[in-house]
Structure 1
């Protein structure tokens, strides 16, 4: 199954491709959002515990992404060449190494969970105890979650985006139903949130495995351990994986800086990130659509459509950024109170949304521009710029927050400023790349 993006109305092509991506992204996001809504009813301490634990779960995801991302690309190439057996070999090898890396990370988490949480220096025994419990329990579900993600990538690479969408919907519904039961009825607190997600994802994996395992991996009797394709998979997945790892590590360090202001600040940051994800998910769909649209039209040497596509996507993205920015700036307290009621957390979270709201347009520009540059095959450019501008958040946050009059808002300002710098740098880079590739019609 494929869609020709080199002909027809540009707007229709981009929006038609973006909407399914956005839908799938929001469904994946719904897992965390639902958990946070229910956990928020337990108070800021519980939100802070989940927030600090989540960084190490995301770090595992970042390490595993070398196989998740590389496999999708490798499988799509094999399917395009009508080499189904090769595609199955790629998937089997990726699954094998994915299991290994997840097992290693879970072992580390189970063994050093106190040291990992201790890095944040929370100085709050209640929050630390809750974080220990959540991290140890939630880590046990990483294999289910990441294998579902792997199968989703394989399915999309084979041209079937409907199956992952249906299975994701089932998982989200199960999670929504189980969260209040486990958290409140069974009185398991944050452990209940972790268990609800594990059960929902394990059911999703069962459905995926039952429906598609032999198509994706080959018949069981034909399974054998090989390593013939894993090198290519790693080489394709390594650059974006490194970017994710660095982003996650920077996020952990930023959270350590935030922790100086206590559990209310950590909870506020976690809630702010969840709310801001609405913009990120919607723009992520445009970014993915822009990358595919640009790639196909670049291959077809239709450079006018690439320019028109970028302008069209940019208009949609800017409009989205303006709307979300106004909402975050004008109604921050309303959004934060959806999760928690503690005044200290609400105040810090509202400041976060006001400041971050000012950079929403720039985030949209950054992501869409990354999409077109990646589509033109210059993947190292966005990676280099994004990594560099993300790393500067750390010294900037330390410096700005050192002023008594600014305090923790200096951390939020550092995030907003780095987003503006990323968007500006990528826009300038695109202009140079456009002159070289599009206007001159040369690589």
Structure 2
């Protein structure tokens, strides 16, 4: 348990800062008006889906780097890291260009917002989209450092970037009177800042501080690329399932709940993010430890790690149940004074959290599959729960049964329970520990 916490607390602290940043952004934007809050909310939903594509590379990296590091093969770690850098740079550049060109069309097709909401969504997304390539590369570099067992350095880097973002928010949104554009520029600037720092640290830590050694590692290897993509593709599809369906859910929420429903959904998601901080930190540390222990052929230790992780995760869910069920109104009032938004948000927190309690299994056991490189089972579980079942259930409950936004919240809750049941089934089959990567 000590090993898990030693690796996970910096990740958790970093996620707390990231969540605080997102929350502060939403609070600042919410003070501008409901349309601005709804616009940034749907833009953020689209951005989340695009940024998840970075896992196509980073998910493969964490499995390969942690396993070779466990074996003591640093030369292979350098080769994989160099190839991963090239891949994230290329994929990120393509996404940046396409997203900037088609941002408005994507927002129209997916969300069909009114002209005012679309205006704010476009203002925010097109600026942030320009930094997509930096997000992709930074994500890969952060994963490499974490896979080596250093989770503190990314905390310092991205923590400083988040503080910079908040300061710039205050200046650009209010002092410079740039509104939503100011929030976007602040986000882009902090992204550039973290990109520069994380690259410096990786070169220093892994390549002896010599750019020449780093450049030599930037060689195209079809074999390494294939191995990274073999692991990362399933993980990417799995990671895409939830935000992609979430994006479609935002569209459905906007249809049945208009601006108030969309604003409540955006604010509620920001609140629930705090629940996942501890869980995601545990998942990352479990991925690293499982990968390293499989590399050193210590399978028994993997089971001990899982048992400890589940205990910590369950405690986390019990703690967060208190504010979400007892004080949801006070929590939503932090974002807005609109009575309809607050009322809708209260229902969101209470209904969704009933299912979210079971997410401990999806996240903790998902970390095991990630670390072992066996990313297919979590992908299947996520696709079935989030795409095959959640979307149809949401439309059935919200529209056919006339439950409105509460129907969407219920569908979300049920999908989490279904995904948890499936991943438990796959974990008990024990095939993850024999995965060859």
The bucket for the TM-score relative to the shorter chain is 0.7 to 0.9
Q: CA deviation at 1:410?
A: 0.2
Aligned to 1:69: 59
Deviations 1:190-238 (A, max 9, x none): 1111111111221222223344436556844563663113222222322
1:400 matched to which residue of 2?
397
Aligned counterparts, 1:373-388, within 5 A: 378-388=374-384
User: Match of 1:412?
Assistant: 409
Q: Which residue of 2 aligns with 1:14?
A: 4
Deviation of the 1:74 alpha carbon: 3.5
Secondary structure of the corresponding residue to residue 335 of structure 2:
coil
Deviation at 1:404, TM superposition (A): 5.8
1:421 corresponding residue in structure 2: 418
Match of 2:253 in 1: 258
Question: Residue deviations 1:77-118, cap 9 Å, x none?
Answer: 555565555544433333233222222222222222221111
Q: Which residue is equivalent to 1:5? A: none
| 275, 279, 283: which one aligns with 1:279 | 275
1:206 to 2:196 alignment: yes
1:134 aligned onto 2:124? yes
- Residues 93 and 328 of structure 1: CA distance in aligned 2, closer, same or farther (over 3 Å): same
Contact 1:93–1:226 (8 Å) recurs in 2: yes
C-alpha displacement of 1:152: 1.1
CA distances 1:397-416 after superposition (whole Å, capped 9, x unpaired): 00011256521110000000
Decide whether aligned partners of structure 1 residues 276 and 154 sit closer, same or farther in structure 2, where only a CA change above 3 A counts: same
1:244 partnered with 2:239: yes
Q: Is the 8 A contact 1:297 1:306 kept in 2?
A: yes
When normalised by structure 1's length, the TM-score is 0.86
Question: For residue 335 of structure 2, what is the aligned residue in structure 1?
Answer: 339
CA 1:205–1:23 in 2, change beyond 3 Å: closer, same or farther?
Answer: same
Alignment map for 1:210-229 (pairs within 5 Å) = 210-213=200-203, 216=206, 219-221=210-212, 223=215, 226-228=219-221, 229=224
Instruction: Find the counterpart in structure 1 of residue 80 from structure 2.
Output: 90
Cα distance in structure 1, aligned partners of 2:371 and 2:192: 34
Q: Distance in 2 between matches of 1:87 and 1:300?
A: 18
The answer to whether the 8 Å contact 2:70/2:291 transfers is no
Q: What does residue 328 of structure 1 align with?
A: 324
In the comparison of the two structures, how many residue pairs are matched?
Answer: 428
Cα distance in 1 between the residues matched to 2:345 and 2:362? 24
Matching residue within 223, 226, 229 for 1:231: 226
Q: Given the superposition, is the C-alpha separation of residues 70 and 184 from structure 1 closer, same or farther in structure 2, using an over 3 Å criterion?
A: same
Provide structure 1 residue ranges, at least 5 long, that are not aligned to the other structure.
1-10
Whole-angstrom distance in 2 between the partners of 1:319 and 1:221: 48
Counterparts of 2:297 and 2:60 in 1: how far apart (Å)? 24
Distance 1:384 1:351, change over 3 A: same
The alignment's TM-score, normalised by the length of structure 2, stands at: 0.88
User: Structure 2: how far apart are the matches of 1:290 and 1:100?
Assistant: 29
Distance (Å, rounded) in 1 between the aligned partners of 2:129 and 2:322: 37
Q: Which runs of 5+ in 2 are unaligned?
A: none
1:262 is paired with a residue of what secondary structure?
helix
C-alpha RMSD over aligned residues: 2.9
Tell me the equivalent position of 2:141: 151
Take 2:308 and 2:196, find their aligned partners in 1: how far apart are those partners? 40
